[in-house]
Amino acid sequence: MADQINREYTLRRLHSLLGVIPIGLFLMQHLVINHFSTYSEEAFNTAAGIVGNLPLVIVLEFAVIYIPILFHGIYGVYIAFVTEMNLGRYGWFRNWMFMLQRITGIITLIFIGWHVWETRLANAIYGTEVNFDMMANILSSPFMFWFYVVGVLAAVFHFANGLWSFFVTWGLTITPKSQRIMTIIVFFIFVIFSYLGLASLVAFAS
Amino acid sequence: MAEENKSIRFIITRQDDPDGKPYEEEFDIPYRENMNVISALMEIRRNPVNAKGEKTTPVFWEMGCLEEVCGACSMVINGKPQQSCTALVDKLEQPIKLEPMTTFPVVRDLAVDRSRMFDSLKKVKAWVPIDGTYDLGPGPRMAESRRQWAYELSKCMTCGVCLEACPNVNDRNDFIGPAPLSQVRLFNAHPTGEMHKAERMDAVLGEGGLQDCGNSQNCVKVCPKGIPLTTSIAAVNREATIHSFKSFFGSDQHA
């Protein structure tokens, strides 16, 4: 009865899985590498150079980043679209998280689209070098700086809260108690990775 | 004796027929002690005169048991979906606002058609098949520890309040809602019902099934019977993970 497993179910589970593996893992890696910018320009350029020169980097990029994010993003817009906000009547914590998950998802999608265009695609099309100077240049505009602040916070929130849902979706946290503890854990994940991201932005901009 | 002249203002969202336009009508009901919302509606039925003193049609609603076990009299009272039989006037802020549950098609006034819930129960095979061509004898025994939590799930009265509060049950989404998902857990937990677990899981992973839950967890907050709906959903999620592994990689329970 393998063919009876529904398409929608498979897509939703795939959406949940890809959000954590590989996209969530990539996000964490990305923010850790970025944090080298707080040490020095050279430290960042070295760290980013290692990641940028991994073997078969173009294959890695497509398999681990572009294809999963495209699927997760496009299917995610659909998931957000089939929801009807009802915070006015039911303003509970989880309902807020539910709505914020969808709102930050849309913000993150826009942000990532712009971010990839400005960095990776600029490199591929115009040969602009991806390094500390490139980011310092972009973030010298106050508008772009705040755009990046919002984008990074949205992405990290979406990942942290998505990780919470991942644990429910795959049936790992069933009891209310385990779900509450997971809320605390993902809160710290949100704080730590927001700090890494924001500290890097400040380092690039100053 | 000031209480004798006291009256309660009701603001009721009415609708004359399934395709009609909803409108509001206000009523002043003479206060009596220990009134519930249904007794106020009965008073309107007895004397259908609105707050302006005009004669009007009696407000229509549905009711059955009057003790919060049938689920028929659910409506949105002061913004909160609940049963009108256990909604006590003394505990409600006035004026009291009554609206039909918007997730369901309105039949008339406060009565809605909850057919979709019963269709969902059929879809997910929320029953224990015991019929045979001969006497099948007694079924396997159920552990007391399991019976205790399963009993809590069996309190579901398909009242529709959880569907009303769910942001993913709407016109754009065919999600069957929390109630039938919890019933899948209930019947999977039954020693005889368990024999049809794989079939039930295939059904609940169909279009509009389990996967459409977005974990807003409103359902568990509004459930009048205190059913641990989100625990049920997560438990069925775990079962679905195992089920789809077995289904994809193969197991004795799957052809």
HEC sequence for chain B: CHHHHCEEEEEEEECCCCCCCCEEEEEEEECCCCCEHHHHHHHHHHCCECCCCCECCCCCCCCCCCCCCCCCCEEEECCEEEECCCCEHHHCCCCEEEECCCCCCEEECCEECCHHHHHHHHHCCCCCCCCCCCCCCCCCCCCHHHHHHHHHHCCCCCCCHHHHHCCCEECCEECCCHHHHHHHHHHHHCCCHHHHHHHHHHHHCCCCCHHHCCCCCHHHHHCCCCCCHHHHHHHHHHHHHHHHHHHHHCCCCCC
**Alpha-carbon span B20 to B100, nearest angstrom:** 13
CA-nearest of B207, B155, B145, B198 to B179 is B155
Tell me which residue in A79, A92, A175 faces B231 most closely, judged by beta carbons: A175
CA-nearest of B248, B170, B166 to B202 is B248
- Taking contacts as CB-CB distances below 8 angstroms, the residues of chain B near A161 are none
Decide if pLDDT at B255 tops 80: no
Tell me which residue in A1, A79, A86 faces B255 most closely, judged by beta carbons: A1
- Quick one: how far is CA A21 from the chain centroid? 11
Distance to chain A for B2, nearest Cα, Å: 35
Tell me which residue in A81, A95, A164 faces B218 most closely, judged by beta carbons: A95
At position A193, the amino acid (one-letter code) is: F
Decide if pLDDT at A143 tops 70: yes
Tell me which residue in B170, B205, B234 faces A5 most closely, judged by beta carbons: B205
**Closest residue of B to A174, CA-based?**
B234
Tell me which residue in A13, A89, A98 faces B215 most closely, judged by beta carbons: A98
pLDDT of residue B4: 59
Mean pLDDT for A22-39 is 97
At position B208, the amino acid (one-letter code) is: G
pLDDT of residue B1: 47
For chain B, give the percent of residues with pLDDT over 90. Answer: 89
**Alpha-carbon span A15 to A21, nearest angstrom:** 10
Count contacts between A and B (CB, < 8 Å). 122
Cβ of A2 and B248 within 8 Å?
yes
CA-nearest of B166, B177, B164, B171 to B233 is B177
**Alpha-carbon span B129 to B35, nearest angstrom:** 43
Tell me the sheet residues that pair with B10: B27, B96
Decide if pLDDT at B89 tops 90: yes
Which of the listed ranges A51-55, B150-154, B194-198 does the model predict with the highest average pLDDT?
A: B150-154
Task: Mention every residue, 6+ apart, whose C-beta is less than 8 A from residue A116.
Answer: none
At position B73, the amino acid (one-letter code) is: C
The answer to whether residue A174 neighbours chain B at the CB level (below 8 Å) is yes
Decide if pLDDT at B2 tops 60: no
pLDDT digits (tens, 9 = 90+) for A168-203: 999 999 999 999 999 999 999 999 999 999 999 999
- Taking contacts as CB-CB distances below 8 angstroms, the residues of chain B near A12 are 211-212
CA-nearest of A79, A84, A85 to B171 is A84
At position A53, the amino acid (one-letter code) is: N
- Taking contacts as CB-CB distances below 8 angstroms, the residues of chain B near A172 are 238
Backbone angles phi, psi at A53, to 5 degrees: -115, 20
Mean pLDDT for A152-166 is 98
Distance to chain A for B200, nearest Cα, Å: 12
**Closest residue of B to A164, CA-based?**
B215
ipTM above 0.85 for this complex: yes
Backbone angles phi, psi at A187, to 5 degrees: -65, -45
Tell me which residue in A82, A90, A175 faces B165 most closely, judged by beta carbons: A90
pLDDT of residue A1: 41
Task: Mention every residue, 6+ apart, whose C-beta is less than 8 A from residue A178.
Answer: none
pTM for the model: 0.94
Cβ of B217 and A83 within 8 Å?
no
Q: What are the C-alpha distances in Å from A88 to residues A113, B166, B207?
A: 31, 13, 29
CB distance B166 to B221 below 8 Å? no
Decide if pLDDT at A2 tops 50: no
Distance to chain A for B194, nearest Cα, Å: 18
Tell me which residue in A5, A84, A170 faces B170 most closely, judged by beta carbons: A84
Tell me which residue in A84, A98, A168 faces B237 most closely, judged by beta carbons: A168
Cβ of A174 and B172 within 8 Å?
no
pLDDT of residue B50: 96
Mean pLDDT for A28-52 is 96
Biggest alpha carbon–alpha carbon distance for chain A: 60
Decide if pLDDT at B229 tops 80: yes
Cβ of B218 and A92 within 8 Å?
yes
**Structure tokens, A79:** 């998931």
Distance to chain B for A162, nearest Cα, Å: 10
What does pLDDT average to over chain B? 94
Question: Residue B238's CB: how many other CB atoms inside 10 A?
Answer: 16
Distance to chain A for B206, nearest Cα, Å: 5
CB distance B29 to B95 below 8 Å? no
**Alpha-carbon span B192 to B129, nearest angstrom:** 8
CB distance A47 to A8 below 8 Å? no
Cβ of A86 and B214 within 8 Å?
no
**Structure tokens, A118:** 């400005």
Decide if pLDDT at A5 tops 70: no
pLDDT digits (tens, 9 = 90+) for B35-75: 999 999 999 999 999 999 999 999 999 999 999 999 999 99
- Taking contacts as CB-CB distances below 8 angstroms, the residues of chain A near B210 are 9
Mean pLDDT for A22-43 is 97
Distance to chain A for B53, nearest Cα, Å: 32
Q: What are the C-alpha distances in Å from B78 to residues A29, A88, B9, B92, B224?
A: 49, 13, 12, 8, 15
Cβ of B211 and A94 within 8 Å?
no
Mutate to test the interface with B, among A6, A98, A167 (most CBs of B within 10 A): A6
- Taking contacts as CB-CB distances below 8 angstroms, the residues of chain B near A98 are 167, 214-217
